[in-house]
Structure 1
């Protein structure tokens, strides 16, 4: 079957919607992926020309192994409810195969990310200042919304390499810069702090990829502007940034002195402490979902951790949570899901073609950002977190591999 123009338009439109609607409508993060999954049925009806490369097989393996292992462990525990999220990683594989054969037009991909980030920031601003909520959350939990909004802003920065070599480059650069700013503001207005911890690492990836393109004067100007912007956001009480920083410092001080354990950060410290005890007891196979919750309740009753912390169903850290529930095998498959894409994309961070390089930067930052988010939140325990990572990995890798 010959790949025709309507097929390219179809995948381009779906990828555009995948990001443009992600955070601005209820369950928007599912709309584009479901459409792409249905479209991947074309692979069953007609053979589309494509030859898989070894790198493609590595990405497929990372998605497949994680989905199969976590899904199988859920079945062994007879927990059908927990099977839902790992299955999403398996469903991303046919989407990856579709994108490899019919990659979206880059203008649709990057414009969708820009529009989605602007929409997220605008919605967060409306909720923060129009509806006067303390923490904007869109249609998700504020932590999920804030981190995903930041991710979209970061992806906009990755796309600047593509925008800079387009015919209407000033318009594209403006769109993505506004998207980056709005995505970051969406995170700021959500009050989520975890996503900001990894910004230095994200900055290093961006610098490694694009730093040589700018003179020393421009680099200092960018650093100065970013510093001034952050200082302004911190000093303006309306943003809530200063208050959240003070709360973090207060939480840590209260926990260290023993004055209060049941603060936002204190509860996380208690959950990590409890989960670490469980890991020491069952490092090989873990406790499973039900076993984890039961054991944490027992630790709370004995006073080893606070009762409030014992009531959470996950450890608020992806690696610790995987270790406690699924043992060493759970940690290994999670690390594969993080590190294989980083390894595959990293080879393109200095690609001579800026359009290809932008995709490599975006793919690398997707995994880097998720490692960051997973430090203080069990991101894959939420539908939005699992869906975003699995299907954006499929789209970004499929497009990158098809274009390079």
Structure 2
């Protein structure tokens, strides 16, 4: 079973973005494999922390049912939140039969390099304006970024391996591939939170570096950012300049349908709807109808109201559709794992520290992505968060329980 979970976890990262619905393949194998728990019945000795993680996953799933009940939606709307329910047996499977960590980290490297290479081909060879992979451009860029930063989290594990130099080089290449995938996609939302990503990495690994090394890395980061911005083919300069242009145009009373202008319109409309029904929310259909009403009243742009089914902000989307309960549970889905993983960012065991770093970066990245997109409204976004949370927590707890008591 450890071989089975190792291969499935490898696929979870390796093919996430390079084949259609690739993020589902490893998850499906893990879910099917969890059926073995019915027969083997391993002694898991679940801790209070394990139960908290499963509780927030279950609660997020149940908010999907709450939204359906409030708005009278079809049960097919339960599809995305149900991923968090399905990820719970996967978490138990990984705790019982944890994958070999070389498979976990190498899968992330392959997935990030594949995403970066595929995005580079689309952008530089095919001449696509923004690389999309096999999913929508924003999800592609954000998930590519996530794969890259998880590679950086794995550096702690790599340092403890006999082939440390080779593993560190591979993980750094994976991080570069994931970053390039995001840059070629032009998904600006993922770039905003990079300082917080580096803060987590510094918290975990800063103590292992001399001041000189820290200074060199800081200079390399600045030079790297300047170089990426200066190369027109990367598309970063154009995307940054267009952001300032969108803001200026919207402030002048126009540009309601531009990339940022449309978001300002959605945020304005959603905020008004929240004020009207803050406790229970509007549900999916109610949100669309409410935005159409605001468009008829001239409060928001009619094209924006017709085109978008969510306000492109994760917290605002939860509040406007599911009310206060939805907002609180979404925050718990982020903050509970973040707090529990972050406790071991300075763990003496480097494998455990790497898993803690990856587990901390997962919600940090999603909080960042959620500023300008509602990833949980998309199958790819919900699948990636639910199943990587299950895998990382299962590995984290299995490793922690395997260490001698101190």
Instruction: Decide: shared fold, TM above 0.5.
Output: yes
Contact 1:71 1:87 in 2 (8 A): no
Which residue, 65, 84, 87 being the options, matches 2:59? Answer: 65
Aligned residue for 2:195? 200
Q: Is the 8 A contact 2:17 2:114 kept in 1?
A: yes
State the SS of the aligned residue for 1:85: coil
Decide which moves more: 62-71 or 264-273.
62-71
Q: Return the alpha-carbon distance in structure 1 between the equivalents of residues 73 and 247 of structure 2.
A: 39
Q: How many aligned positions are there? A: 398
Distance in structure 2 (CA, Å) of the matches to 1:22 and 1:78: 30
Contact 1:59 1:340 in 2 (8 A): yes
State which of 299, 317, 330 in structure 1 corresponds to 2:326.
Answer: 330
Partner of 1:314: 310
Moved over 6 A (4+): none
Question: Is contact 1:267–1:308 with CA below 8 Å preserved after alignment?
Answer: no
Q: Give CA-to-partner distance per residue, 1:294-325, whole Å, 9 cap, x none.
A: 11011112110111221210010011011111
**2:56 corresponds to 1:84:** no
**355, 360, 366: which one pairs with 1:359?**
355
Partner SS, residue 80 of structure 2: helix
How far did residue 130 of structure 1 move? Answer: 1.4
- Residues in 2 aligned to 1:262 and 1:139: alpha-carbon distance in whole angstroms: 25
For 2:168 and 2:282, how far apart are their aligned partners in 1? 49
Which of 19, 33, 43 pairs up with 1:25? 19
The TM-score normalised by the length of structure 2 is: 0.97
Shift of residue 15, structure 1, vs aligned partner: 0.2
1:93 pairs with 2:108: no
Q: Distance in 1 between matches of 2:228 and 2:324?
A: 42
Following superposition, the deviation at residue 239 of structure 1 comes to 0.4
The answer as to whether partners of 1:75 and 1:83 remain within 8 angstroms in 2 is: no
Q: Is the 8 A contact 2:296 2:302 kept in 1?
A: yes
Aligned positions of 1:375-394 closer than 5 A? 375-394=371-390
Query: Which of the numbers 105, 108, 120 marks the counterpart of 2:103?
Result: 108
Once residues 234 and 330 of structure 2 are traced to their aligned partners in structure 1, the CA distance between those partners, rounded to angstroms, is 35
Unaligned runs of 5+ in 2: 401-406
The answer on whether the counterparts of 2:67 and 2:321 sit within 8 Å (CA) in structure 1 is no
The CA distance in 1 between the partners of 2:345 and 2:311, in whole Å, is 34
Distance 1:402 1:260 in 2: 52
> How far apart are the structure 1 equivalents of 2:180 and 2:73?
42
Q: Which whole-Å CA distance do the structure 1 matches of 2:35 and 2:323 have between them? A: 36
Structure 1 unmatched runs, 5+: 1-6
Contact (CA 8 Å) 2:279, 2:324: kept in 1 or not? yes
Aligned counterpart, 1:15: 9
Query: Residue 284 of structure 2: SS of its match in structure 1?
Result: helix
Shift in Å, 1:75: 4.3
Determine helix, strand or coil for the equivalent of 1:349. coil
Q: Note if 1:74 corresponds to 2:68.
A: yes
Paired with 2:297 and 2:66, the residues of 1 have a C-alpha distance of 32
User: How far is the alpha carbon of 1:73 from its aligned partner?
Assistant: 2.5
